[in-house]
Structure 1
Amino acid sequence: MAFTDASLTALRVFREVAEHGTLTAAATALGYTQSAVSRQIASLERAAGTPLLHRRHDGVRLTPAGQIVLRRAATVIDQLDATARELAGLPDEHATVRLGWFTSAGAWLLPTALTALRRTHPTITVTTREGSTPALVRALRAGTIDLALLASAPPFRPPDKETPALVLRTLTERGLRIAVPETHPLARGEAIDVADLHGQRWIAGTGQERVMGVWPGLDERPHIAHTARDWLAKLHLVAAGFGITTVPPALAPAMPPGVRVLPVRGGPAEQRRILLAHLPRPLPEPAARLADALRTAALETDLSL
């Protein structure tokens, strides 16, 4: 069986597996059974004559051959989809940019940049999706998004170890801050001493991001009073006086009433970066325009803080 005999369905399934990181998640996204996904991957590997995936307890990882197939499959699928749209009389794919973003970017950076882009380049359509860093990086590799906004913490390692390395541009780097209720004793000053964070009630994230919301490097086991998946819930819990939480400084304009955002002094600096990531190839003009809008929005936000 030659690889030229590989079916388009198998290529689409393979791209979904690469993006979602597990056969189960890909099956759910496609509405298939896991066994059906496994059969499609097996047929593709037979056509390639080599394994395309490493099966591990925590999911799958592409082999070097799998990375080659993914790059080619993404191109083929996108071209066929663009052809179908053109035949149907729909807008050209080149006028559309697909952007992935981390959660808190949706409260300030994303709407600011999209508003500016709509004003200067109204013919560019931007579609977006929210996701974790691993999910967005897989989507970039799979070719299902063109750009990704990523949050990065020290020691600022690359978001994955795959090759070729992603292009990463730092849009902004600022110190982490603390959101406290206006009625909290910590809200009385213009900054919080790191020693005063001991014994506080924290509002943290959930699942693998449970520690998000707790000041890094505390030399005690934090008292996590509440956990919440989204920033809006965390901040309204803060406003209601149920605890404190860490926030990136750019979220300050989006605070609900009753919340103060303050820097922390003492101890090591806790810097956070916002990165714009894409595959190492020239960006089409619409994607480059969006990248410029995101950089400008990040710079303007920095200057206003």
Structure 2
Amino acid sequence: MDFTNASLTELRVFREVAERGTLTSAAAALGYTQSAVSRQISALERAAGVPLLERRRDGVRLTAAGHIVLRRATTVLDQIDATARELAGLPAEAGTVRVGWFTSAGAFLVPSAIAALRRTHPAIRVISREGSTPALVRALRAGSVDLAVLASAPPFRPPDAESPPLELLTLAERSLRLAVPATHPFARRDSVDVADLRGQRWIAGPSTGEEQLMGVWPGLDERPEIAHTARDWLAKLHLVAAGCGLTTVPASLTPTAPSGVRIVAVHGGPQEQRRILLARLPHPLTEPVARLSEALRAAASESGAAP
């Protein structure tokens, strides 16, 4: 074993694989072939003398040794990138914080927090990205984001089983609602019974194998008819406005519903609650990360959805 022979390219490829969860996704992000990514990983594992990844049918998972290498690789790569910026005469990124967020958090919570932070601490630079909750958890573990705004559904399990456990803060807890066209019979009611949802057409997010089918009311006792698929929540609501079907939305998005959409409650069956979590690794916070965390908490409180 001679890990000193590990190259920066191998470390970058390894970090990308750890974040993306599959060799195929990492290859696409890097512009490499899958075989090239596989060769880089194999070379790094030879240098380490132990397996760094557990290959599974649904992707890869880091081994205990892989977690050690990822933690050290992230530190090394960040230092190399900082050195390159300094040599190029670019400003240091000490005032930068990177945040990831799931789709509907971008409707109000994240923009409000960033806007507030710009007013109070204009020198802090925020870089944000959207992603699914599983992808954002991997990005946290890979060191690609400092904070992640995640979605959580009952029974509210931890977002992953890796060690160390993520630090989690509940920013908001809200009920799930139903978005219906203004011309739909449901639009004349303040609420509908879950039994009335049988036989409806639905607008849902595409199934990725990582997340539950989003957009269909949970627990229906029939196979739902999916009329349209869309990941973006605004696209779903505009499809609802066009009379194309029904979709679910968090109650906090009610004020943002476009014309032609009515938001109603659903009764019967288990109460459907959703949480917005702020996740991070259990490390000491830099000032930019701490300031953005505070801004996100304040934005959640102002929205009236805080726990």
TM-score, structure 2 normalization = 0.95
Q: CA RMSD in A?
A: 1.5
CA distance in 2, matches of 1:295, 1:252: 20
Which residue of 2 is the match for residue 177 of structure 1?
177
Take 1:226 and 1:32, find their aligned partners in 2: how far apart are those partners? 33
Q: Secondary structure at 2:222's aligned position in 1? A: coil
Q: CA deviation at 1:32?
A: 1.7
Worse-superposed segment, 6-15 or 80-89: 80-89
1-side partners of 2:37 and 2:195: how far apart?
53
Cα drift, residue 113 of structure 1: 1.0
- In 1, the alpha carbon distance for the partners of 2:145 and 2:212 equals 27
Shift of 1:303: 5.8
1:288 equivalent among 282, 290, 303: 290
What is the match of residue 261 of structure 2?
A: 259
CA offset at residue 35 of structure 1? 2.1
Which shifted more, 32-41 or 287-296? 32-41
> Is the alpha carbon distance of 1:303 and 1:25 closer, same or farther for their aligned partners in structure 2, counting shifts above 3 Å?
closer
1:201 CA drift (Å): 1.8
User: Is 1:247 matched with 2:249?
Assistant: yes
- Equivalence map 1:19-38=2 (5 Å): 19-38=19-38
CA separation in 2, counterparts of 1:36 and 1:91?
34
SS in 2 for 1:207: coil
Q: What is the aligned-residue identity percentage?
A: 74
Who is 1:121 aligned against?
121
Structure 1's consecutive aligned runs of 4 or more residues displaced over 3 angstroms after TM superposition are none
Q: CA deviation at 1:44?
A: 1.2
Q: Following the alignment from structure 1 to structure 2, what is the Cα–Cα distance between the partners of residues 162 and 184? A: 46
Give the length in aligned residue pairs. 304
Instruction: Report if aligned partners of 2:252, 2:305 keep a CA contact under 8 Å in 1.
Output: no
Q: CA deviation at 1:26?
A: 1.2
- Quote the offset at 1:191 in angstroms: 2.1
* Residues 1-305 of structure 1: pairs in structure 2 closer than 5 A: 1-208=1-208, 211-302=213-304
Structure 2 unaligned regions, length at least 5? none
Amino acid at match of 1:42: S
Give the Cα–Cα distance (whole angstroms) in 2 for the partners of residues 227 and 22 of structure 1. 24
Name the aligned partner's letter for residue 260 of structure 1: R
**2:77, 2:155 → 1: CA distance?**
37
Structure 1 distance, partners of 2:101, 2:290, is: 16
Deviations 1:13-46 (A, max 9, x none): 1101111111121112111222222222122111
Q: How far apart, in 1, do the equivalents of 2:264 and 2:67 lie? A: 45
- How big is the shift at 1:210? 7.0
Alpha-carbon distance in 2 for matches of 1:293, 1:89:
31
Structure 1: gaps (5+ residues): none
Name whichever of 127-136 and 205-214 sits farther off.
205-214
Write the distance in 1 (CA, Å) between the matches of 2:200 and 2:50: 55
Which residue identity does 1:244 align to in structure 2?
Answer: L
Q: Distance in 1 between matches of 2:68 and 2:177?
A: 42
Partners of 1:68 and 1:9 in 2: how far apart? 18
TM-score of the pair, normalised by structure 1: 0.95
CA distance in 2, matches of 1:250, 1:87: 46
